[in-house]
């Protein structure tokens, strides 16, 4: 297969988002829209990626760092001009290019693999991803000859000139022979009132030159959903959220109320764990089997929960490890904490992990019992099997030895258990 470089078009203003932030940096379940595209490209084995942006290069660089080369399109003169800008990064390159829009995060790696493979096997000059929609309004329509060959793309403003209704449209993802593409782009004129150069005009040009044009039909129209407004953003979030929940349910996790449950991508949950309503589980979380989480739990990044543990209502965990069989059932905040096996955390227990400058760790060893309303000021260690009395405030560095009992404010050790 020929080498493949991707070009992500992301310079459009995204005016309808009414935002100070570039559209591709809006977050979907904790991850920027553009990161979904980068992941899909990576999943399809495409590592060389050029992203065209209009502004916010620094903001974008912060998020995507070394995963893509960033090119600025100085004037927003249309998708054709955007691809021309990317040409700077492709000097001397002889492979093919895959072009994708930055605001269609649901086009997955399977589809990208498919279009790249079809492009390679057919030897076409251009392969376009199309989809059939009930309502094609707003999209470029695919005009074919009577024997099914692609002739050109008709953009919305010219579409009304055609009487018959065409419901096959351009998703905005294509593979091109690089040389053919840039030669055709030279012939593209400024098209509409806005004086834009349409990338899609290259297709008619290539057709007239007798080049071979191919297409791949996207089966699920949902995958082409683009983000233009905040409502679209919520729509895409909903689609992704349901896919994540479905996958978890099919793998043996009970989700009592999918509508009120939010789980980010990549979260791992073991069999027979029950997620109760109104629970939010963010990225980098691993939950064992036979756990019970929620209702109303918030599990933030970097949390690992062992088998059979319970995390109940109004519990927030971040950067925390919870041992198997531990119970943290009500109104608790644990940050930067290691909770041992079979620990019981009383209602209202809070770790003071932040001292105004640093985040500090709390360690609660196996079998310890923390009374209700305790405050643990980090860094601090509660020994194996120790008991902390109700309402106690354990000051920082005042470690409680194993099997000891500590009570009061500030907490003092009143006895050592056997």
d(CA 106, CA 110): 11
Is the separation of the CB atoms in 107 and 220 below 8 Å? no
Among 38, 71, 90, 169, binds ligand UD1 (CB under 6 A): 169
**Is 37 or 248 the residue whose CB approaches ligand UD1 more closely?**
37
Is the separation of the CB atoms in 140 and 167 below 8 Å? no
Least distance from ligand UD1 to the Cβ atom of residue 114, Å: 18
CA nearest 402: which of 385, 389, 414, 381? Answer: 385
Among 38, 49, 50, 101, binds ligand UD1 (CB under 6 A): 101
Q: Does residue 97 belong to the site contacting ligand UD1 (CB under 6 A)?
A: no
With a CB cutoff of 8 Å and minimum separation 6, the contacts of 404 are 383, 386, 387, 413, 415, 416, 417
Touching ligand UD1, residues 254-313 (CB under 6 A): none
Q: Does residue 10 belong to the site contacting ligand UD1 (CB under 6 A)?
A: yes
**Is 69 or 402 the residue whose CB approaches ligand UD1 more closely?**
69
Least distance from ligand UD1 to the Cβ atom of residue 97, Å: 14
Catalytic residue of the set 26, 330, 331, 398: 330
Least distance from ligand UD1 to the Cβ atom of residue 5, Å: 16
Binding segment (CB under 6 A) for ligand UD1, from list 64-72, 97-105, 285-293, 347-355: 97-105
Q: Does residue 172 belong to the site contacting ligand UD1 (CB under 6 A)?
A: yes
From residue 188, give the alpha-carbon distance in Å to each of 2, 82, 393.
26, 13, 73
Structure tokens given for 76: 């927003």
26 is catalytic: no
**Is 61 or 76 the residue whose CB approaches ligand UD1 more closely?**
76
Q: Is 4 helix (H, G, I), strand (E, B) or coil?
A: strand
Q: Does residue 56 belong to the site contacting ligand UD1 (CB under 6 A)?
A: no
d(CA 122, CA 3): 15
Among 7, 31, 37, 81, binds ligand UD1 (CB under 6 A): 81
Give the CB-side neighbour count of residue 417, counting CA atoms within 13 A.
16
**Is 75 or 268 the residue whose CB approaches ligand UD1 more closely?**
75
- Position of minimal CB gap to ligand UD1: 140
Q: Does residue 11 belong to the site contacting ligand UD1 (CB under 6 A)?
A: yes
Q: Does residue 155 belong to the site contacting ligand UD1 (CB under 6 A)?
A: yes
d(CA 388, CA 104): 53
**Is 11 or 374 the residue whose CB approaches ligand UD1 more closely?**
11
Is the separation of the CB atoms in 377 and 352 below 8 Å? yes
Binding mask 204-243 for ligand UD1 (x = CB under 6 A): ----------------------x-----------------
Give the orientation angle of helix 79-86 with respect to helix 178-187, to 10 degrees. 130
Least distance from ligand UD1 to the Cβ atom of residue 139, Å: 4
d(CA 21, CA 342): 46
d(CA 4, CA 186): 22
Question: DSSP of 71-118, one letter per residue?
Answer: EE-SS---HHHHHHHHGGGGTT--SEEEEEETT-TT--HHHHHHHHHH
Q: Does residue 76 belong to the site contacting ligand UD1 (CB under 6 A)?
A: yes
Among 4, 5, 12, 64, binds ligand UD1 (CB under 6 A): 12
Is the separation of the CB atoms in 387 and 371 below 8 Å? yes
Q: Does residue 68 belong to the site contacting ligand UD1 (CB under 6 A)?
A: no
Least distance from ligand UD1 to the Cβ atom of residue 54, Å: 6
Least distance from ligand UD1 to the Cβ atom of residue 55, Å: 11
d(CA 289, CA 353): 28
Residues contacting ligand UD1: total by CB under 6 A? 27
Least distance from ligand UD1 to the Cβ atom of residue 45, Å: 22
DSSP state, residue 354: B
Q: Tokens 């194993």, residue?
A: 402
Q: Is 377 helix (H, G, I), strand (E, B) or coil?
A: strand
**Is 13 or 27 the residue whose CB approaches ligand UD1 more closely?**
13
Query: Would you tell me which residues interact with ligand UD1 (CB under 6 A)?
Result: 9-12, 52, 73, 76-79, 81-82, 101-103, 139-140, 153, 155, 169-172, 198-200, 226
Catalytic residue positions, numbered: 330
């Amino acid at each position: 297969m020929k080498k493949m470089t991707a070009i992500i078009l992301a310079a459009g203003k995204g005016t309808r988002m009414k935002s100070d932030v570039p559209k591709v940096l809006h977050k979907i379940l904790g991850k920027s829209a553009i990161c979904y595209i980068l992941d899909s490209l990576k999943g399809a084995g495409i590592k060389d990626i050029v992203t065209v942006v209009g502004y916010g290069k620094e903001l974008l660089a912060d998020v995507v760092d070394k995963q893509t080369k960033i090119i600025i399109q100085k004037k927003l003169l249309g998708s054709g001009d955007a691809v021309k800008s990317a040409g700077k990064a492709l000097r001397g390159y002889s492979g093919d290019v895959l072009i994708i829009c930055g605001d269609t995060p649901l086009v997955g790696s399977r589809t990208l693999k498919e279009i790249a493979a079809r492009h390679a096997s057919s030897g076409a000059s251009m392969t376009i991803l199309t989809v059939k929609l009930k309502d094609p309004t707003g999209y470029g329509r695919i005009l074919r000859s009577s024997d099914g060959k692609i002739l050109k793309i008709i953009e919305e403003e010219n579409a009304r000139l055609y009487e018959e209704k065409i419901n096959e449209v351009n998703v905005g993802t294509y593979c091109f022979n690089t040389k053919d593409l840039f030669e055709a782009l030279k012939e593209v004129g400024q098209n509409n009132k806005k004086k834009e150069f349409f990338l899609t005009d290259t297709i008619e040009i290539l057709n007239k030159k007798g080049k071979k044009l191919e297409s791949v039909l996207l089966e699920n129209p949902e995958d082409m959903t683009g983000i233009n407004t905040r409502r679209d953003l919520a729509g895409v979030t909903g689609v992704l959220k349901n896919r994540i929940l479905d996958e978890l349910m099919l793998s043996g996790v009970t989700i009592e109320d999918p509508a009120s449950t939010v789980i980010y991508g990549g979260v791992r949950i073991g069999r027979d764990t029950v997620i109760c309503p109104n629970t939010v589980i963010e990225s980098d979380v691993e939950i064992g089997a036979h756990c019970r989480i929620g209702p109303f739990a918030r599990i933030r990044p970097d949390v690992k929960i062992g088998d059979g543990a319970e995390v109940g209502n109004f519990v927030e965990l971040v950067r925390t490890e919870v041992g198997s069989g531990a119970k943290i059932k009500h109104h608790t905040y644990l940050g930067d904490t290691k909770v041992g096996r079979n620990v019981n955390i009383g209602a209202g227990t809070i770790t003071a992990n932040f001292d105004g400058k640093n985040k500090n760790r709390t360690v609660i060893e196996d079998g310890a019992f923390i009374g209700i309303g305790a405050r643990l000021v980090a860094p601090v260690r509660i020994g194996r099997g120790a008991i902390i009395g109700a309402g106690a405030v354990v000051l920082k560095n005042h470690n409680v030895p194993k099997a000891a009992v500590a009570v009061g404010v500030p907490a003092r050790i009143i006895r050592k258990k056997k």
